[in-house]
Structure 1
């Protein structure tokens, strides 16, 4: 039996904050067992939101400076988290915050320097999980499916509703996974137009009306019918879903309502297209799982043969941080943590850089 105590760090495209999850992983007779021991979400200040959101428009010098500053900031958050809860940590495992993701150009970049993080946290740090897979011809995403396979095997599908919705499932002797559509990165800016950080419970979406023209336009991009492996970045979102939303003359509530229908429809299409049988059990996590109107649309479009499970709030909120902690464990053990069947790389690989403080 082997035990690892790791802090996983996740920052998603929705820019709602930094998730910290202190987890224990036990390897016993070929099986992995996890336990989430402590969690915390640190909301971003307005300054950090503006700085991170604007990184695609600044100079290379400013990007490098932010990479260092953000890594130091994450390290300070870890140090405070450890001190506050008196934690014993083997190492930290950080996703960073994605600025660029254009795998067709061999580009993926997450700010959050592992060296500066390790120095500020005073703990070894694993980071930069995507670059090796990109170098091997893969998408560098999604990364979560290896965790879904080894930690959540009781579910037929694992669906995450973060800034982007993505899904993974076990296929014929291989794991399949891909990004489906924009999610909170579409909904949260709309809620912001109503003076809210997000649409609590989907109440604003529920109050709106369905707009057929917007629904059709949101479903128009060829990405949705393209085969996997495939992934979405902010660049794709800006050109497609966000542009469709911005150019629509519909009321904000109607846009929220229609966007939820669009997401439910595309999720159902993705599940049905890759299901061996038209039934199964689906685990739903990520911030969008708290949007009851969106969850209703997913259930509606999937139909009654699929069971949609929304677990306890801690797992909903921290599953990605948990799995990035686990990816760090696999990297620490020099075992594959990125699947060729998911990303399209030349082979399974063990991605991540390790910094010793």
Structure 2
């Protein structure tokens, strides 16, 4: 062993270093230390030229990105209470929030991969699915057919939906009330083409309504309650018997598949807040008032006529949502037929 070591390349290199270096103690000790390191490496049975092991990558925290609308009570309340942040922290996850003016831009963000979870009315997920967005329905909120309606000014000669023929009606394109308007017209024996739709978001529609630039307005709560309370709006028909007016909790497919524990934590937290809101309409109204810059009284009215829940998607819910999708396809609002059942999450 000693003879083999003396003939090895590291040993011969060290010996030449001794012969070439001046006999200074510090230099000598350096050469000895370096040489012994090389010899040890050469004699090690596991030594290779690429033996360095890369350090393990640090575990990355999961960030749950949630989109919300100020008027969408539950997620907005959940954001301010910070309960979800505490729940997710137990599993090593964090939460971030992004505000959107309506459901459609929120689902565009989901399609772009900017958010993981959100809540909208019936229509936006239909348009998002038609556009190829990778979304899944994960639960629904019963809301209420009384929480959306078609209204006219108090002194308007319009008394029924049939009187809307040839009239200009404000509606948010692709919204739940867009479907209500179509369904109400069909029941009255009219086609969508029999009216002049004015596609406006709620704030612009209210201005047009109050300024008498439109004859009617299809709108949902809490904007409906505000219109009744402060703008002299009169309901000619609500969604009872015409549209279920449900809300939907939606998530990206990748989030559902990769982070099922975090999805469950989100839904559990949403349910807790939903249960609280159902029993505390006054407190909810007081919370929303500064957020929406609306008096608490109409907000409380809206809260008292709606329902809350975080419920699993049933066949009846799917069939109703498919009916809405088929209607939008028939009148040309979406380009092709879609199958809603294909994007329903089934908890495993």
Q: Please give the TM-score of this superposition, normalised by the length of structure 2.
A: 0.31
Q: Which has the higher helix share?
A: 2
Greater Rg, structure 1 or structure 2?
A: 2
